[in-house]
Amino acid sequence: MSRKKRSSKNLKIGTRITISAVVGILVPVIILIAFSSVFQSFMASYFGFATVTTNEYSAVNQLQWSQTITSISNELVSDSSEEAKVKKINEFVAPLEKLGSVIYIEKNGAALYATTSKSEVTELASSIVKTDTQRNTNYFGENGMVIVNHVNDGSDRYVVIIANENYTVNDVSKRFAPQNITHLLFSRTGILILLIASVFIIAIIIISFITSKTINKPLRELSYGANEIANGNLDYVIDYDSTNEIGVTVKSFNHMTDRLKQSLERQQTIEQSRKEMIAGVAHDLRTPLTSVKGYVEGLRDGIANTPEKQELYLKTIYTSTLNMEHLLDELLTVSRLELGNIELECKPVNINDFLDDCAGELKAELQQHDFDFNYTNNCDSDFTVMLDAERFHRVIRNIISNSLKYAKKDEKGRIELTAQTYQKSVIITLADNGIGIEGENLTKIFESFYRADPARTKTSEGSGIGLSVARQIVELHGGKIWATGKEGKGLTILISMPRKVEENE
Ligand code: ADP
C-alpha cells in the first residue's frame, strides 16, 4: 500500500469520529487509572480508612473497621511465612490495642496472636454482647464492640476475635453530624469528582480540537474554492488530496469546475460562431439579392434587349432566389428544431427501398459534379425503419452537399454510400475523399453554427447549420450520427437507425 493510502488524512469522517469518541473515553480512563495506581497506596491513609482511629461509632469508623478486618484476613490467608504473618498482624492490631481493644487470633485451634488468653477475650466479648465464637459477629453497641471473623484458606482455619468495652455509640443526630459521613466523604470525594471531571473535560477538549481541525481545514479550503469560483476564477483548483469523504467531495468539486469551464468555453465558441453566422448569412443573402436587383434593373431599363438576354437574366434571377430560399429554409429548420417545433411524420419504410432511391438520385447528381459514386448495400431484405422519408432525405442531402463543398481541388471527388444491418439497427455510411477535418473537431461539426477555419477549408460558403440539422433530425428518429476520418484524408459520416419494433416483439 502506498504511503498516501495509509496517511491519516485519508481517514473516513465516521472512523475519525469513532476514534475520537473512543480516545475521548479511553484517555481519561487511562490517565485516571495511572493516577490512582500511583496514589493508591496513599489513598486509604489520605482518606483515613487504613486503620481504626477512634472508638466512636460513625460511617467512617465502620469503613475503618471493614478495611482493618479485610487487611488482617488477607494477611492470614496470604502465602507469607507464619513469622511474617505475625509481624504484619502486629502492625495491624497495634492501633486497635492502643484504643483498648483486646484481640485473639487462632489458627487451627491454637493461638497465633493474642493480647490476652482466649477465655478472657471471649468473657469480655460475652459481657458486651451474647457471643458465639463459632459464628461471625459484628457488634457495635452501647456496651462496646465485638467482632468475630472466621477465615479459611482451604488447609487452615483462622478465627479473629476482637472486643472493646470502651466503644461508644452516639445518638442518631450525632452519627449523621457533618464531621461524620457527609463532611469526611464529601469534602474529599468532591475533590476526587472534580479531578475526574477535569481530566475528562480537558481530554475531550483536546481531542475535539484535533478532530475538528482535521475536518475544518479542508472544509475551509472547499468554501474558499467555492467563493473563488463564484467570483469567476474557474482556474482555481482546490488542493486537498485524500480518499476520505471530503477528498471525494473536493475531487467532484474540481471536476465540476473543470466541466463548467469547458462548457463556458464551448458556449463562447458557439456564441462566436453565431455572430460569424449572422455576418455570413447577411453576406450570403446580400450576394444573390444584389444580383437579383441588378438583373431586374437590367430588365426594367431595357439592357436585356433580346429575348436570349432576357431569358438569361430571368434564369439568373431564378437561381439567386432559389439560393436565398434554400438558405432561409435551412435557418427556419434549425430554429424550429432548436425550439422543438418539428414533429416527424414517420412511416414504416424498407431501408433497401429508401437507400436504392437515394443512390439513384445521388448517382445522377454526382455525375454532374464529376464525382465517382459507389453504393454497397448489405442490408437484410426485410429490414424496416420508422422514417420521415422527406426529412431523412434532407439529412443525406446535407451530408452530400458538404462532400461537394469540402472536396479537394486537385483530386477527383469520390463518395461511397454503404449500409449494413445488424440485429437491431442499420448503419448507413457516407464517406468522401475530401479535405477532412482535425480529429478533435469531429464531434463539434454537429453543433449549430460550428464551422471549421474558413482559411483551412478554403471556402467561405456554408453557415454551420447543415450537420446540426442532420443531427437533430437523426436524433428525433431515435438514431445516432457521428463522424470519423483524418484531416486531409476525407470524412466519413455514420448514421445508426433503430429497427422498427414489431408489434409481437
Ligand atoms: P457548413 O454550412 O459550414 O458546411 P455544416 O454544419 O454542414 O456547416 O458543417 C459544419 C462544418 O463541418 C463545416 O463548416 C466544415 O468545416 C466541416 N465539414 C462538414 N462536412 C465536411 C466534409 N465532408 N469534409 C470536411 N469538412 C466538413
Phi first, then psi: give them for residue 373, nearest 5 degrees. Answer: -135, 135
Is pLDDT larger for residue 66 or for residue 350? 350
Grid coordinates given for 262: 469547458
DSSP string, 410-475: TS--EEEEEEEE-SSEEEEEEEE-S----GGGTTGGGSTT----HHHHT-----S-HHHHHHHHHH
pTM above 0.95, yes or no: no
Residue 3 — very low, low, confident or very high, per pLDDT cuts 50/70/90?
very low
Residue 1 — very low, low, confident or very high, per pLDDT cuts 50/70/90?
very low
Is pLDDT larger for residue 174 or for residue 110? 110
pLDDT at 334 over 90: no
What radius of gyration, in Å, describes the C-alpha atoms of the chain? 53
Interval between CA 466 and ligand 1 midpoint (Å): 8
Ligand 1 mutation target, pool 277, 399, 406, most atoms within 8 A of CB: 406
Is pLDDT larger for residue 41 or for residue 423? 423
In tens, the pLDDT along 374-396 reads: 999 999 999 999 999 999 999 99
Neighbours of 35 (CB within 10 A): 14
DSSP 8-state secondary structure symbol assigned to residue 182:
I
Interval between CA 402 and ligand 1 midpoint (Å): 6
DSSP 8-state secondary structure symbol assigned to residue 56:
B
DSSP string, 264-310: HHHHHHHHHHHHHHHHHHHHHHHHHHHHHHHHHHHHHTT-S-SHHHH
Residue 360 — very low, low, confident or very high, per pLDDT cuts 50/70/90?
very high
Residue list, ligand 1 pocket, CB within 6 Å: 398, 402-403, 405-406, 432, 434-437, 445, 450-452, 457, 462-468, 491
pLDDT at 309 over 70: yes
464 CA: nearest ligand 1 atom: 8
Interval between CA 388 and ligand 1 midpoint (Å): 24
- Strands 414-421, 425-432: pairing kind: antiparallel
pLDDT of residue 415: 97
pLDDT of residue 145: 93
Report the pLDDT averaged over residues 392-405. Answer: 94
Mean residue pLDDT across the chain: 85
Separation between Cα atoms, residue 354 and residue 356, nearest integer Å: 6
In tens, the pLDDT along 97-116 reads: 999 999 999 999 999 999 99
Is pLDDT larger for residue 329 or for residue 175? 329
DSSP string, 58-113: -HHHHHHHHHHHHHHHHHHTSSS-HHHHHHHHHHHHHHHHHTT-EEEEEETTEEEE
Interval between CA 47 and ligand 1 midpoint (Å): 97
- Closest Cα to residue 485, out of 452, 436, 418, 440? 436
Is pLDDT larger for residue 401 or for residue 37? 401
Residue 198's identity, in one-letter code, is S
pLDDT of residue 187: 56
Report the pLDDT averaged over residues 335-363. Answer: 90
- Closest Cα to residue 335, out of 477, 451, 469? 469
> What percentage of the chain has pLDDT greater than the value 70?
88
pLDDT of residue 2: 42
pLDDT at 173 over 80: no
pLDDT of residue 4: 45
450 CA: nearest ligand 1 atom: 10
Residue 207's identity, in one-letter code, is I
Nearest-CA residue for ligand 1 atom 19 is 402
pLDDT of residue 453: 64
Nearest-CA residue for ligand 1 atom 16 is 452
Q: What separation in angstroms does the CA of 387 have from each of 393, 481, 492?
A: 10, 15, 22
pLDDT of residue 111: 92
Nearest-CA residue for ligand 1 atom 2 is 462
Separation between Cα atoms, residue 44 and residue 61, nearest integer Å: 13
Ligand 1 mutation target, pool 402, 406, 408, 437, most atoms within 8 A of CB: 402
Report the pLDDT averaged over residues 459-481. Answer: 84
398 CA: nearest ligand 1 atom: 7
pLDDT at 370 over 80: yes
In tens, the pLDDT along 111-156 reads: 999 999 999 999 999 999 998 999 999 898 878 999 999 999 888 9
pLDDT of residue 210: 82
